[in-house]
Chains A and B, each alone.
Chain A
Amino acid sequence: QQQVKQSPQSLIVQKGGISIINCAYENTAFDYFPWYQQFPGKGPALLIAIRPDVSEKKEGRFTISFNKSAKQFSLHIMDSQPGDSATYFCAASGAAGNKLTFGGGTRVLVKP
């Protein structure tokens, strides 16, 4: 059972544009929602994370928006740069954050 659904599978954005990736979850016990960035040949690296007590969290050009009632959350990459070209994974876990369930990933390509 895929408990975290991620879309789109891939997207192409022009440099300076906004990349938006969406995730939906089913398990209402989830309350920790991180996003990971993965470059080819590397392991996933934590980008930003949110807990459901806030609806938005911003770190630099990266923003998570969270909608608890809809069980959805999204990643916005502002002013996208070619160096942001990577695969992005959303994930979710329970309170302890120790059992992550990952989405299927979104391959982002930023064109110069």
Chain B
Amino acid sequence: EAGVVQSPRYKIIEKKQPVAFWCNPISGHNTLYWYRQNLGQGPELLIRYENEEAVDDSQLPKDRFSAERLKGVDSTLKIQPAELGDSAVYLCASSLYGTGVTYEQYFGPGTRLTVT
């Protein structure tokens, strides 16, 4: 079974430029997460989707970040414009959420963003 797929794996952009990250979750997983992991720190949740609905976006900097999960499968996270402080690894994770199931989150390899 394929894991969580993310692309690109690496991205280098200049500040003020836009950037987008793509995530394909594990087949059948109805919940999708975007995390940001700064160097030497643990991941921090940016947004969580249950199917197509963003149920928790309280940590998403909405002035420059946006996300979508059309059709409840793939998701895209966008930053516009990027700032130097956005340099980090952006992780996507997915899980199956429902009554009577375990809720392990499976992470993709991440996209390492460098803003110069």
Contacts and interface: CB of A to CB of B under 8 A. Distances in A.
A99 B97 CA distance: 12
A44 B41 contact: no
Interface in A63-112: 89, 91, 93, 96-100, 102-105
Interface stretch (B12-20, B64-72, B76-84, B104-112): B104-112
Nearest to B6: A43
A99 B45 contact: yes
Contacts of B107: 36, 43-45
- Sort A-B residue pairs by CB-CB distance and give the 6 closest, nearest first: A102-B42, A97-B103, A43-B107, A44-B107, A89-B42, A43-B109
Interface of A: 4, 6, 32, 34, 36, 41-46, 49, 89, 91, 93, 96-100, 102-105
B8 interface: no
A46 B97 contact: no
A44 B43 contact: yes
Interface of B: 4, 31, 40-45, 48, 56, 91, 93, 95, 97, 102-110
Given A89-B42, A98-B105, 14 more contacts: A6-B42, A41-B109, A42-B109, A43-B4, A43-B91, A43-B109, A46-B105, A96-B103, A97-B102, A97-B103, A98-B31, A100-B45, A104-B41, A105-B42
**B interface SS class:** loop
A97 B94 CA distance: 12
Contacts of B40: 104-105
Contacts of A6: 42
Contacts of B31: 98
A42 B93 CA distance: 12
5 contacts: A34-B104, A46-B104, A89-B42, A98-B103, A99-B56
Contacts of A100: 43, 45, 105
